[in-house]
Amino acid sequence: MTSATTTRRVTGRSELGVAALLGVVGAAVLWDALGLHAPYSQSDPIGPRAVPYLVAALLFGTAVVLAVDVLRGGRGEVEGGEDVDLSQPTDWRTVVPLVAVFAANIVLIDTLGWVISGALLFFGSVMALGSRHYVRDALVSLVLALGTFYGFYLGLGIHLPAGLLEGVL
């Protein structure tokens, strides 16, 4: 077998790596599910292991179907980029501020609380993406932060950090 034949056989089969990754993740989920020990409950005959077993089975099934498709000559569709011009370089003037705003949110959320850090996150994101309606964006950011705070708190029972506004919210 020549190197040209080997190259031809391997070219276009990078999806096999994705299939292998899906198989490895499926094995990890199955391994973890096998370690779950929950007592039998009359009110829950299925138990907590059903979903991880289902997820593992779906991961294995997807890996096998993808591998068979690739070996039969199937190929993923080339990314069209939708409305993105793929010939242009990365717009670092947008990416860097977005990363900075997300990093600031991670650092400040415990101290300032979700409402303040979330409002800064939303406001900084729209500014990085090019909006210049400062007052409107600030108000919408504050409403979004308060809405998500109370949505998580009242709707889901999840307590986001209140930070500086502890006792006020």
For 145, phi then psi, to 5°, come to: -65, -45
Residue 71 contacts by C-beta under 8 Å, 6 or more apart in sequence? 13, 16
pLDDT score recorded for residue 136 = 97
> Has this prediction a pTM greater than 0.75?
no
The 10 Å CB-count burial string (b at 16+, else e) for 121-142 is: bbbbbbbbeeeeeeeebbebbb
Hunting for tokens 């029972």 — which residue is that? 157
The Cα 73–Cα 96 span in angstroms is 40
pLDDT score recorded for residue 42 = 58
Q: Quick one: which H or E segment has residue 139? A: helix 134-150
| Upper half-sphere CA count for residue 167 (Cβ side, 13 Å) | 1
pLDDT score recorded for residue 12 = 62
pLDDT in tens, the chain (169 residues): 454 544 445 556 778 899 999 999 999 999 998 888 776 665 666 777 788 999 999 999 999 999 999 898 877 776 665 676 767 888 899 999 999 999 999 999 999 999 999 999 999 999 999 999 999 999 999 999 999 999 999 988 889 999 999 988 8
Choose among 77, 78, 32, 35: nearest CA to 59.
32
Q: Which amino acid is at 101?
A: V
Yes or no: say if 125 and 138 are a contact pair by the CB < 8 Å rule: no
Yes or no: say if 53 and 31 are a contact pair by the CB < 8 Å rule: no
